Structure 1
Amino acid sequence: MAQMSKGKYTNIQACADQKGVIAAAAMDQRGSLRQAIAKARGGEVSDAELLEFKTAVTKILTPHASAILMDVEYGLPAIEARAPGTGVLLAYEKSGYDTNVKGRLPDLLPEWSVRRLVEAGANAIKILLYYNPFDDPHINRIKHAYIERIGAECAGLDVPFFLEPIAYDDNLGNEKGFEFAKVKPKYVAAYMEEFSKERYGVDVLKVELPFNITFVEGTSAFGGTAAYTRAQALADLKATASAAGKPFIYLSAGVSDAVFRESLELAAEAGVPFSGVLCGRATWQDGIPAYAKQGVQALEDWLADRGVQNIESLNQVLAKAAKPWWTIYGAEPVVG
């Protein structure tokens, strides 16, 4: 039976629902959100407007979520608008990466530490890491050491560490393309196995679905070119889940709400013990034009209608398919 510290246990539970399922909303987008609003508007977007958008999403959607993931650069005041009992995850990494340096190397926000994030209200710390398991060993040693340091920092403050590895391969081009789709299951399985090792101190893995559903035959999202049969997609779900030694939740990766739900229904069909989602753009991205053109009231109206419908539809899938976060341990951990 797994042993777990009181702080880690209590704070993972704070981010989960009463059944131990993590049904979290993600609102830590930074540059990408600014660009999306600017594109819809055809003009500049201020920091104050980013906060306004994040606050509206937090206020309207957290009554239907177990936690909210937020950034500290633009969104920290927005967490005050969350519904009572909503857990808080705060992002610790800088957004994006330096395109002039090989390997998509990560970096932390220089004015923040785990201690400061906890003081700002974090129940858990989230890190996004671009990771190619088959990259130059020197690049991966840098990334492994980076995650070890964050894991040790989280352990020292007794706060959960949620790691979001994102698979890539610069030699295969666009991660949304066909060539990468063919290798994606192998990459996801490899990073789930690697970061389940105790040395990293990761408590929950926030992972990609091990396929690009656009290339899965027999799905409504199928685009006409097959990288996998439906049976292969189910087998890949099982293979990646079996590689995990830590609880894992799925991220939406910017797909539409309907596509994300269909992907999760495949996970349910495969019977994998995923413990929920951290879902951002799939829930609220279609509200961006309303905000860009008509302002915050139009966004709130859209969120109260379509946004709530999206998150509730997702919650229905989770109610049927997701397992408590401690399932991977075989029993609820003993709190030490």
Structure 2
Amino acid sequence: MSDPTILARPSGGYAMLAVDQREALRDMMSTARSTDISDSDMTDFKVAAARVLTPYASAVLVDKEFGWDAVIDDEAVAPTCSLIAAADHFVAGAGEFVRESTFDTGLDIEKLKAQGAKALKLLILWREDRDPQERIDQVTEFVDVCRKHDLVSVIEPVSRGRWDGAPSDVEAGVLEAARELGDLGADIYKAEVPFKGKADDASVFDACRELSDTINGPWVVLSSGVDAERFPEAVGIACRAGASGFLAGRAVWASVLGAPSTVEELTATSIPRLKRLGEVVDDNIRH
């Protein structure tokens, strides 16, 4: 059986880096650099981020579309950092970079394993007006495939607005998604920070406690939507409420995308951020 602690720090907490963003990354880079961004531009950034940052991460999440092969071929990942392959296929639409996310069953999973993958990750979009059974079936299939291949399964339910565009309580969907998908056997559950960290500490803590009470197994937070300066505090709050760490990208590296030298700025800015986040996890996880 796969053991999720292969993705953890010696403390037992998870300090995992995400560089699997796709068209959202292209948009962020284009905005930061005021120019069009090619596929190779994104790949170059992912390789640089992996090379500079993975010595300080317990695992790194990379997508097959723009990053995986180059990161592997360039031997950019530190030997102390475990590899997670993104197993989701994104479809854009209706003003969303990810309108739909499905399990990419066309992946050569045995090849990914041979290249060093220890885990797979699947993004699930939770919308209140979409069929819950479709999401449940997708997670169940994904978990079964991971077990068959002896890989750690990481699911990432993200609450989104209604498919039909009608008003909806996206924040409530964070907990509803956990209730629906948090006990389906995934080895690690990747959750949004409640209120995107914008609420007071007590409110964030109480909501994280609800997630801990709902999710059967270790769970970690992502950083999308959370201010980078607030994210370390949010990680600490979540860990004190029962989370086991983080799997995040934007809060670590988004601010460096427009820098004249990506490597220099990753070194000067992102390494200290990632080291601090790892220390926050070690200091706050509940043993």
Normalised by the size of structure 1, how large is the TM-score? 0.77
Match of 2:247 among 267, 278, 283: 278
Percent identity over paired residues: 26
Aligned counterpart for 2:178 among listed residues 179, 192, 195: 192
> Structure 1 residues 71, 122: CA separation in 2 closer, same or farther (over 3 Å shift)?
same
Map 1:175-214 to 2 at 5 A: 180=169, 184=171, 186-197=172-183, 200-214=184-198
The one-letter code matched in structure 1 to 2:71 is A
Choose which of 289, 296, 301 in structure 1 pairs with 2:264. Answer: 301
Equivalent position amino acid for 1:163 in 2 = I
SS in 2 for 1:162: strand
Matches for 1:3-22 after TM superposition, within 5 Å: 5=1, 8-9=2-3, 12-22=4-14
1-structure distance, mates of 2:270, 2:204: 28
Match of 2:39 in 1: 47
Higher RCO by CA contacts (8 Å cutoff, separation 6 or greater): 1
Q: Is the 8 A contact 2:256 2:266 kept in 1?
A: yes
Secondary structure of 2:89's counterpart equals coil
The structural deviation recorded for 1:237 is 1.9
Partner of 2:103: helix, strand, or coil? coil
Alpha-carbon deviation of 1:40? 2.5
Q: Distance in 2 between matches of 1:82 and 1:238?
A: 34
Deviation at 1:44, TM superposition (A): 2.2
Contact kept, 8 Å, 2:197 with 2:226, in 1: the verdict is: no
In structure 2, which of residues 56, 66, 69 is the aligned counterpart of residue 74 of structure 1?
Answer: 66
Q: Give the drift of 1:19.
A: 2.0
How many angstroms does 1:27 deviate by? 0.5
* Residue pair 1:204, 1:248 contacting (<8 A) in 2 also: yes
- Decide whether aligned partners of structure 1 residues 131 and 97 sit closer, same or farther in structure 2, where only a CA change above 3 A counts: farther
Name the SS of the counterpart of 1:211 in structure 2.
helix
When you count strand as a share of all residues, which structure comes out higher?
Answer: 2
Task: Render the CA deviation track for 1:33-73: whole Å, top value 9, x for unaligned.
Answer: 11222222332222222111111111111111111110111
Q: How many angstroms apart in 1 are the aligned matches of 2:283 and 2:25? A: 31
2: CA distance, partners of 1:105 / 1:30: 13
Structure 1: distance between partners of 2:91 and 2:232: 27
Q: Given that residues 196 and 225 in structure 2 are in contact (C-alpha distance below 8 angstroms), is that contact kept between their aligned partners in structure 1?
A: no
Partner Cα separation in structure 2 for residue 157 and residue 16 of structure 1: 20
* SS of residue matched to 2:17: strand
Structure 2 distance, partners of 1:254, 1:113, is 32
Distance 1:54 1:258, change over 3 A: same
Give the direction of change, closer, same or farther, for the CA distance of 1:81–1:284 in structure 2 (3 Å limit).
Answer: same
Among candidates 228, 236, 257, match of residue 257 of structure 1 = 228
Distance 1:311 1:250 in 2: 14
Query: Where in structure 2 are the equivalents of 1:130-145 lying within 5 Å?
Result: 130-132=125-127, 134-136=128-130, 139-145=131-137
Q: Quick check: 2:60–2:82 contact (8 Å CA) kept in 1? A: yes
Displacement after TM superposition at 1:196 (Å) = 2.9
Q: Structure 2 residue aligned with 1:129, among 103, 124, 128? A: 124
Partner of 2:86: 91
Distance 2:108 2:166 in 1: 33
Q: How much has 1:317 moved relative to structure 2? A: 1.1
2:163, 2:23 → 1: CA distance? 25
Q: CA deviation at 1:172?
A: 10
Partner Cα distance (1:131, 1:110) in 2: 20
**CA spacing shift, 1:265–1:172, aligned 2, 3 Å:** farther
1:154 and 2:117 correspond: no
Query: Between Structure 1 and Structure 2, how many residues are aligned?
Result: 283
- C-alpha distance in structure 2 between counterparts of 1:57 and 1:254, whole Å: 20
SS at match of 2:189: strand
User: Who is 2:114 aligned against?
Assistant: 119
**Cα RMSD, aligned residues only:** 2.6
- Structure 2 Cα separation of the partners of residues 116 and 36 of structure 1: 31
Pairwise CA distance, 1:204: 0.6
How far 1:151 sits from its partner (Å)? 1.4
Instruction: Tell whether the 8 Å contact from 2:192 to 2:223 is kept in structure 1 after alignment.
Output: yes
Structure 1 gap segments, 5+ residues each: 218-229, 328-336
Displacement of 1:254 in angstroms is: 4.4
Q: Which amino acid aligns with 2:212?
A: A
CA distance in 1, matches of 2:250, 2:91: 17
Q: Could you tell me whether the CA contact under 8 Å between 2:196 and 2:226 is conserved in 1?
A: no
CA distance in 1, matches of 2:164, 2:197: 18
Structure 2, unmatched stretches of 5+, are none
